Structure 1
Amino acid sequence: MTNKRARMPVALGQRIRKRRLQMAMTLQALSRACGVSVSYLSQVERDNAVPTLGTLAEIAAALDVGIDHFIATPRQVDSVTRAEERRRFSVAGNSVVYERIGADFAAHELSCFLLNVPPSYRSETVRHSGEEIVFVLEGEILHMVDGQSFLLRAGDSMHYLGQQPHSYSNPGDAPARMLWTGKMAHPATPTILGPAPAGGLQATGSGSGPSDGALA
């Protein structure tokens, strides 16, 4: 049976900086291409901030590579992934442990991961192109999307546009586990994302709905 322990985190910021310099891009140029602020990109390159997979996908696309260029994600080329063969990985500075669900065949558009989120974890707030669907398998996840908070429990799901500012956290005392699926839309000519469009937010399940609580 394959060892499913999490891989050691990788030096993410240094790899992003190295690739940017290889392409002779300034931080300002990268910011314009991926829609992420210069100040945040600088923090990422200095390993003072850890981007979500969605944000990393935007940065990678602007640098003309996939996220596998920056993090050692287990590659799965077959359509079927056996439970005992699925390997875990993490990103430097991030306590979330990921499990890759989707395959890595040519021209694929969807990305899919299982996220194991420890208690009290809180992600940064991001905005990017594309869309995301999350489905909570265990525990509780508090999602903030476009200024609204949604407490999702096991069996609840949420679908929203990536252009809406969003973040998530685990407000409970126990680990949470959720399925994340996303499609990152990359225009031929990258542009800075504008204000989040109206609508595009759906949450389903008995535990979903606006909450008065803020992120823990």
Structure 2
Amino acid sequence: MTSSRVPPGADLTTDNSRDDAANEATALLGQSVARLRRSSNQTLTAVAAQAGLSPAYMSQMESGAANPTVRTLAHIAAALGVAPADLLRGDAAAPPAGAPFPPRFCPAPLLAAQADYRGIWDLTADGAVQLSLRLLRADCGDHAEAVRHDGEEVALVLAGQCRIRVGTTVHTLRTGDSCHYSAADAHQITDPSDDLLMLIVLTSQE
């Protein structure tokens, strides 16, 4: 049996470069899907249901934390009414950071008041690239598991309660409580009450 050896002077950064390129492509894909979804005025939960996915997975994909298969992309494209290739255009059509965009007036979804309904709504205006706002109703989405990514987050509990873990710190958030933290720290939201209504504000993950 022969052993594998690294030749002298070999470039050990190649794998890292490929990983960086793959991560960038995944992030651009997620941004493109989120932008197309907002343009179609569909909620994250609605598109996930049409595509046969969980809202948590859709949330992970839009944040660049999931790597969907071609079949999954085809299902998402069908739910959005676009061709699969349209999902791969990245930020080519997105305005630069700081560019003006039309306001989005978004009344609180009626389903958010239903005691037995769980869901995730995207409140972000189409064209926004620096902030993302989500309203969670008794559903922690991708944050039900520990995640980390670039940027910052603010979690504000409007009703009910949940537990939040940031790094090694664990705290119970009740109605009116908020937490501002670095999203680069592993963070997780668990134990949502049935009446939990939470607003999550995320900064750009560029």
Using structure 1 for the length normalisation, give the TM-score.
0.47
Higher RCO (C-alpha under 8 Å, 6+ residues apart) = 1
The structure with the greater share of residues assigned to helix is: 2
User: TM-score, normalized by length of structure 2?
Assistant: 0.49
